[in-house]
Structure 1
Amino acid sequence: MLDGFTGWPEEFATRYRERGYWQGHTLGSLLRDRALARPAHTAVIDGDRRWTYRELDERADRLAAGLHGLGIAPGDRVLVHLPNVAEFLVLSFALFRLGAIPVFALPAHRETEIAHLARLSEAVAYVIPDSHLGFDHRPLARIVCEKTPTLRHVLVAGDPGEFTALSSVDADPRPLPAPRPSDVALLLLSGGTTGVPKLIPRTHDDYVYNLTASAEVTGLDATTRYLASLPVAHNFPLACPGVLGTLHVGGTVVLSPTPSPDDAFRLIERERVTVTALVPPLALLWLEAAEWAEADLSSLRLLQVGGAKLKPDTAARIGPALGCRLQQVFGMAEGLLNFTRLDDPDDLLLHTQGRPLAADDELRIVDIDDREVAPGEVGELQVRGPYTVRGYYRAADHNRTAFTPDGYYRSGDLVRQLPSGHLMVEGRIKDVINRGGDKIPVEEVENHLLGHPAVHDVAIVGIPDLTLGERSCACVIARGVPPTRAQLNAHLTALGLAAFKLPDRVEVMESFPRTGLGKVNKRALAERVAGSTR
């Protein structure tokens, strides 16, 4: 058992096996099964590269053997920092088969996040592209190596420079120690509220259920052509049902370098894409682009939208503008997934964020004192179930507050539940800003801004935005000459923060409103900032 992993109590594990949620499969076996059943069918399309299931399966076997030859062993952590390229899939399945554990970083992450993830996971290898969207990852890798004593290998998809080319890590397949279904298969990133991201351990058992049940409720089959337009390191496009769900049913994954309409519309037309997934700001951008774009989008039958709440008026435009069905998705990398169903009536489709995936998803909606609210009232969502984790990786102190004593995860989401079981998301109680699906941990950014010589005190709040849902505003009490937004963002960029964490707006103030206990009253502060824009 992986040190720092909190498993399910045995009585729950037994229940989930007996009820068929956990069927004893591993993620590596999913690809093997499809390769045996549909060897010549196209599994993945990446630009001009088209690999069949047989080719993807063989490449994964050869890479697994090559990684084993480097000394990467079952249970070792490998930090994966790749964009939407075919190597992401090969590497993932190679690690799944080897029993090594990928730690999926996001393409937008930079030094602050990557160095933290490497140290927290004690990664033995770091896998990067040579460059992506103009950013050269190799200088970043040098810094990460200096800060991570456990790191032994940097593998590069492309020109390796002084490191090792990922393509050279190749060996004849050999018998390898097989992971157990109950083993941790991967580590996902949290959208946490404090500090840098926490790691979410997902087992083969629970993640196989996650992706297979999602594929079923989404209606995927062997004819599916799924466009991965969001970064595939996110849980949503990875396995809800995403690329893994598509490969499970024998469909075809089409990888898009970006989610922009220019890239995505071209691929939808060329590859006859049938399903894709977006966050609400991108859905709005696609709606606007569809008014003038000449691309043929007629193959698209389903658009999933999740990651943040979709406004009903935007939801209503998707069918007429894009000619496809909408599916709202509300979930979390910690587990629980909610989907509107394909046969839901329009009132549920447009106004709710779906209902739970599994019959054994146990939901509680509680008030500030953890007492369940009356049916239909708003409260914090707490959940446990066959694919919702029981603790973050190596985070014992945080787990004591993030999970209840009886194992429910405190989501921080404010919801109300309809008699149909569907949830309506009403907001957040945690100090986090949901900027178009990117979660900004407020405390982390505040702490970095306090290091700027012109900042005496700072409080970051979310402000409503029609496109992104929320934007971030840094409210600053200055020390001397007030700093500009450009100066503060340059300071954060130099510290290696991801671009989406940079404040969208800066307000200089003389003082902050306070609670009776002397804490910054962020609700009043947000109202003050919002009022100044009216």
Structure 2
Amino acid sequence: MTAADAYRAAGWWRDETVLHDLRRWARERPDRAALVCYRGTAHESVSYAELARRVDRLAVGLLRLGVRRGDVVTLQLPNSWELVALCLAAARVGAVPGPVVPVMRRREVEFMTRLTASPVYIGASQTRGFSYGEMSAEVAGAVPTLRHRVLLGASTEDLAGGALDFGRDLYAPEPDPELLASLDAIEAGPDDAGQIMFTSGTTGEPKGVVHSHNTLYSMNRAQADVLGLTGDEVTAMGSPTTHQAGFTWNFVMPLLLGATAVQVDRWDPRLMLRTLQEQRVTFFMGAPTFLSDLIDAQRETPHDLSALRSFATGSAPIAPLLVEDAREVLGCRVYALWGMTENGCVTVTRPGQPVLRAAESDGTPVPGMEVRIVGRNGEPVEPGTAGLLQVRGSAQCLGYFRRHAVYDACVTADGWFDTGDLARDDGHGGIRITGRVKDVIMRGAENIPVVEVEGALLRHRAVKDVAVVGYPDARLGERACAFLVTQGAAPGLEDVRAHLAGLGMARTYWPERLELVPALPRTPSGKIQKFALRDRLRAQEGRTAS
């Protein structure tokens, strides 16, 4: 029996796609809101029946532009019904959605469209003062395959430069009956590519992670099941839907359940509180920084959040105080998770566990996925010892688009994917992330467990956010610097060291430098950009040397 056969037999793969889910709910609960989309304070509700109609209209529009099976449709849009419907419309014509986060610029978009040979770019004309119309024109001039640029709110200048208008040229008011009838024969199947999602590329060229409709189904089915989520949920999050977290937790998963997904076009904690109250949101997913922002905003201006039950978070250590504040201030329970673009949510804490487990663990594996922790040569490690985190299972991606050798180098002979993360057993059958292989600080002959140091620092009541990075040292090779975002009276270096000593942490792991900053640089999904902090330290050292 092949792995695919085993996944099907276990129910983690199926013979349907999200398009079947959409049609199912359009029949069974046609008036249920599939999406509630906010542009600032204004919002629009789109029912399942209406979403299905809009998807077909856009699918016919894509066919008219010459999009064919296997083509990658590049989508650089803010959170909106247009983005969700276009992802589904691409699958409807057998094509593959290629989401691109809005913060990406010409260099990244050119690289992605060239690699995928994308024939169509769809974006907003302008967002937050940046002209995607001008940028996409430059990209089209450099990428021969990019035949069409379709823009929401296309300006006169955009149209004069060869761009197409979303409403006039793509979103046809009355789909051609003949083209509409042809869609069923060409739409994507469960084992076809359902997404090409690029990694951030902060350590090199971004990699295009390829997921099938079945690997996407598996990750979303599993995360919904372990948290007990149902079709009655109203979900929301602060991340872009063009990021894997937003794509899965706030698009594919609610669609699978027949739930309602609330989409906001930009992150603003005060507006989000208003949205959570207005829409009676029950489930939220986002990085710890989003959780912290909401707690601060709720303290300042309380809203009725009585519907909010769960907040799933990951990508960074979670302070015990944050877990407690979420319960006291927001009235919800926090769940910690770990995952990657390559495999979605792999581990998560559970409802039946103690509430503070979210501050101590990154969770246990979801059904369909396995994890193991090994040494450098693949040998098992002792319980409690950090090692290389490897995973395999039904939600693992198919590979990296046109970079097969790069992906193959990450997979062991017995089929385990090397994540590049370091972890240890959490003592409860789960894992605790201790750092990244490329993020290790080697102080003398001792590896500093960066994530554990960050987690310990977050237990200081004055520390709101933290990042520990290494900086060069002539004698020891590297030393550790802690960047802190604080609240109240800011601690000094000796205060921090005393705190860590009180927790019983070895002196070798204590930071030897402290930098107080108003905020940490982050990606749109909330991950800390440690390379920017290292650059800052190098610049400071350069000025000192001068």
TM-score by length of 2: 0.77
Look up the match of 1:174: 181
Task: Name the counterpart of 2:128.
Answer: 133
> Structure 1 residues 83, 499: CA separation in 2 closer, same or farther (over 3 Å shift)?
farther
CA distance in 1 between partners of 2:54 and 2:122 (Å): 16
For residue 60 of structure 2, the aligned residue among 54, 65, 81 is 65
After superposition, the C-alpha distances for 1:215-271 in whole angstroms (9 at most, x for unaligned) are 2223222321112321111221221x3222112222211111223212201111111
Quick check: 1:29 aligned with 2:56? Answer: no
Question: CA–CA distance in 2 between the matches of 1:369 and 1:416?
Answer: 16
Q: Against the structure 1 CA distance between its residues 142 and 333, is the aligned structure 2 distance closer, same or farther, given a 3 Å change threshold?
A: same
Contact kept in structure 1, 2:270 and 2:294, CA below 8 Å: no
Q: Which residue of the partner structure matches residue 517 of structure 2?
A: none
Asked if residue 302 in structure 1 is aligned to residue 297 in structure 2, the reply is no
CA distance in 2, matches of 1:362, 1:247: 26
Q: Is the 8 A contact 2:410 2:418 kept in 1?
A: yes
2:88 counterpart letter in structure 1: F
TM-score normalised by length of structure 1? 0.79
Cα root mean square deviation, aligned = 2.9
Compared CA separation, residues 306 and 396, structure 1 to 2 (3 A)? same
Contact kept in structure 2, 1:79 and 1:127, CA below 8 Å: yes
CA distance in 2, matches of 1:81, 1:131: 11
Residues 215, 157 of structure 1: alpha-carbon distance in 2 compared, 3 angstrom cutoff = farther
- Using the TM superposition, give the Cα deviation of residue 502 of structure 1 relative to its aligned residue in structure 2, in angstroms: 7.9
1 CA distance for matches of 2:481 and 2:227?
33
**Cα offset, 1:464, TM superposition:** 3.6
1:415, distance to aligned residue in structure 2 (A): 0.9
Map residues 352-501 of structure 1 onto 2, 5 A cutoff.
352-358=361-367, 360-431=368-439, 464-467=482-485
Q: Give distance in 2, aligned partners of 1:460 and 1:147.
A: 42
Residue 283 and residue 462 in structure 1: after superposition, are their counterparts in 2 closer, same or farther (change >3 A)?
A: farther
Q: 1:263 to 1:257 in 2, by over 3 A?
A: farther
Q: Quick check: 172-181 or 125-134, which moved more?
A: 172-181
Assess if the C-alpha contact under 8 Å between 1:220 and 1:246 holds in 2.
no
Q: Structure 1 CA distance, aligned partners of 2:35 and 2:197?
A: 22
Deviation, 1:192, is 4.6
Aligned partner of 1:258 in structure 2 is 266
Q: Is the contact made by 1:378 and 1:426 (CA closer than 8 Å) also made in structure 2?
A: yes
Aligned residue among 318, 329, 332 for 1:321:
329
Greater alpha carbon shift after TM alignment, 21-30 vs 188-197: 188-197
Correspondences of 1:76-155 after superposition (within 5 Å): 76-155=71-150
Note if contact 1:330-1:339 (Cα within 8 Å) is conserved in structure 2: yes
Distance 1:75 1:121 in 2: 10
Of residues 393-402 and 144-153 in structure 1, the stretch that sits farther from structure 2 once superposed is 393-402
Distance 1:300 1:42 in 2: 18
1:384 is paired with a residue whose SS is strand
SS in 2 for 1:45: strand
Partner amino acid, structure 1, of 2:532: P
1:44 corresponds in structure 2 to 35
Separation in 1 of the partners of 2:481 and 2:127?
Answer: 31
**Which residue identity does 2:245 align to in structure 1?**
F
Of 5, 8, 13, the match for 2:4: 13
Question: Aligned equivalents of 1:222 and 1:215: distance in 2?
Answer: 10
Amino-acid identity (%): 30
Deviations 1:38-88 (A, max 9, x none): 111111111332111100011001111111121101100111111111111
Go from structure 1 to structure 2 and tell me whether the alpha carbon gap of 1:347 and 1:298 turns closer, same or farther (over 3 Å shift): closer
Q: Give the partner amino acid of 1:236.
A: A
Question: Quick check: 2:375–2:381 contact (8 Å CA) kept in 1?
Answer: yes
Unmatched 5+ residue regions in structure 1? 1-9, 443-458, 469-497, 512-528, 530-534
Per-residue deviation, residues 279-321 of structure 1 (Å, max 9, x unmatched):
1122222222221113222221111112222233322321112
CA distance in 2, matches of 1:461, 1:75: 49
Deviation per CA, 1:151-180: give whole Å up to 9, x if none. 011111222522112223122332221322
Q: Are 1:345 and 2:354 matched, yes or no?
A: yes
Partner of residue 292, structure 1: 300
Q: Give the match's secondary structure for 2:2.
A: helix
Asked if 1:312 corresponds to 2:320, the answer is yes
**Aligned equivalents of 1:46 and 1:64: distance in 2?**
21
How far apart are the structure 1 equivalents of 2:478 and 2:382?
33
1:232 matched to which residue of 2?
241
Query: How many Å separate the matches in 1 of 2:479 and 2:48?
Result: 47
Q: Distance in 2 between matches of 1:430 and 1:165?
A: 44
Q: Deviations over 1:362-403 (max 9, x none)?
A: 322112222221223211101111111252121133224322
Paired residues of 1:382 and 1:408 also in contact (CA < 8 A): yes
State the one-letter code of the partner of 1:235: Q
- The CA distance in 2 between the partners of 1:80 and 1:200, in whole Å, is 15
Shift in Å, 1:276: 1.2
- Contact 1:25 1:208 survives alignment (8 Å): no
Q: Which range moves more in the overlay, 375-384 or 157-166?
A: 157-166
Task: Give SS of 2:205's match.
Answer: coil
Separation in 2, partners of 1:370, 1:349: 29
1:202 is the counterpart of 2:202: no
Q: How many residues align?
A: 452
Query: Contact 1:316 / 1:350 at 8 angstroms: preserved in 2?
Result: no
Q: Is the 8 A contact 2:334 2:355 kept in 1?
A: no
Stretch of structure 1 that moved more, 204-213 or 79-88:
204-213
